[in-house]
A and B are shown apart, each in its own frame.
Chain A
């Protein structure tokens, strides 16, 4: 078993429901993105998966077992929740060594993962002095230590430079291509669009979607043509068979290709100031789906 399975998972803090009856299964061989606005319950869910927080209801199974029943958990699942969760006074090598020893993993593997993430040169430096990027690499080295079939990363690209982001992205794709289960949370759509194959979207602790990236986009928003013209009122009735909606100084046309709209306008002698095909993005789909569940929404300033 190389899946992560949440069954009616629930976490309550006082009267607040942080995680509300989540059920899903994360499958191997692909990158599953875990999306949701800040405060949606992503980190709480991940902490429950690792046995750090106790669910108020339901359960979660990692590789078919509750986390606390894994004898050498690092060999089943490698997780990076918080790269700063290290003792700053310890060297990188000793940090990894103490984790390796606790799971019966040999010293040679410590050197190997440091090589993989590019920390060999700073193995003897104390991790308190590490930059954000180096700390993140150390966290990933720890996740890879047990050569696990399941990997889990919480917001792994936060604060990284573009080179670091690309490195992590390539690493995650590579791990999934090897047939491993890769579960990665983010609040950044653009990041998920480039990395994930499958999405689990939550808002206010509830499951909003559990679907492939393409399906997700297709399901929640459509492509349309943005049309702007000084004679909008004359043009609109001519666009038969299309669904029109006004948006300020332009309108959105769904159901007619741009070429057809252009032809109709030209035929009627109507000038077009804009004719743009707008393809849906993951970002738009996500905003659409989560707009009701954003915990801390900024006030919209009227234009």
Chain B
């Protein structure tokens, strides 16, 4: 297992597109996280937004980027045919998938932690000039920051699961955008129980709870929400794993 994980780490670091995509995710986090607070200060409205939320404005974009990157970890192997070479080297397919998942999780978590804290401290530095900054010691702040890093990482795993059963980069990204952005936004437009279910439980609507400071009535609590989001990711991963095991490569 360690051998296969080392191999997966080599694969991940030796392709420029992965490193670039991680870079774009970091830029989205830091760019929005510094830019929005700076804009608030420039408009003399530093208290218009909750300070932590202002510095985490990049999260919805970064979540999509992490998910796409997770999908590409495996779809790029299918696109190039490398998957057949990989499976020839490691015919125990679930072992190969598990190694990919573990290595990606570690790398994504480190990148997410770095970009979350960088965005937070940069954003608060701008807000601090107007004495409107939050500190990590304030109630719920540290949990929201760690929660953001976990949320981004779980988004990446959701994408990896989707990529494993779609096997096709554009198809996987379309499904990611649909499941993580389009459907969650439709919740408020749909009536009745379906709308309520989407608002409360559907993918990112549940997952994002852990990435914000406060709690809102009618929505899941932070860790409940994260748990539901983890179930979505797990479902995608299980479908991917079953199909990977059964299908011809």
Contacts and interface: CB of A to CB of B under 8 A. Distances in A.
A68 interface: yes
B88 A101 contact: no
A86 B16 contact: no
A142 B7 CA distance: 14
B124 to A, nearest CB: 38
A52 B7 contact: no
A103 B89 contact: yes
A104 B6 CA distance: 10
Given A50-B91, A95-B14, A103-B89, 4 more contacts: A52-B87, A89-B15, A98-B7, A102-B4
A47 B88 CA distance: 9
B91 A68 contact: yes
Tell which of A67, A73, A102 has the most Cβ of chain B within 10 Å.
A102
B188 interface: no
B76 A87 contact: yes
Interface of A: 47, 50-54, 67-68, 70, 73-74, 79, 81-82, 84-91, 94-95, 97-104, 142
Contact of B7 (A70, A79, A84, A101): A101
Contact of B91 (A51, A81, A85, A99): A51
Contacts of A89: 14-17
B89 A99 contact: yes
A90 B86 CA distance: 14
Given A87-B77, A88-B80, A99 B85 contact: yes
A37 B17 CA distance: 40
A86 B241 CA distance: 22
A82 to B, nearest CB: 6
A107 to B, nearest CB: 11
B3 interface: yes
Contacts of B6: 101-102
Given A73-B91, A89-B15, A94 B10 contact: yes
B91 A70 contact: yes
Give the size range of B's interface with the partner.
Answer: 20 to 34
B3 A52 contact: no
Nearest to B10: A98
A101 B3 contact: yes
Contact of A97 (B10, B76, B84): B10
Interface string B73-104: 00011001111111111111000000000000
A86 B7 contact: no
Interface in B1-21: 3-4, 6-8, 10-11, 14-17
A87 B78 CA distance: 9
B249 interface: yes
Contacts of A67: 91
A104 B92 CA distance: 15
Contacts of A86: 80-82, 85
B138 interface: no
Contact of B249 (A53, A90, A102): A53
Tell which of B4, B6, B15, B88 has the most Cβ of chain A within 10 Å.
B88
Given A68-B92, A70-B91, A101-B3, A82 B17 contact: no
A103 B3 contact: yes
B15 A87 contact: yes
16 contacts: A52-B87, A54-B248, A73-B91, A74-B88, A74-B89, A85-B83, A85-B84, A86-B80, A87-B11, A87-B80, A87-B82, A98-B8, A98-B10, A102-B3, A102-B6, A104-B3
Nearest to A142: B85
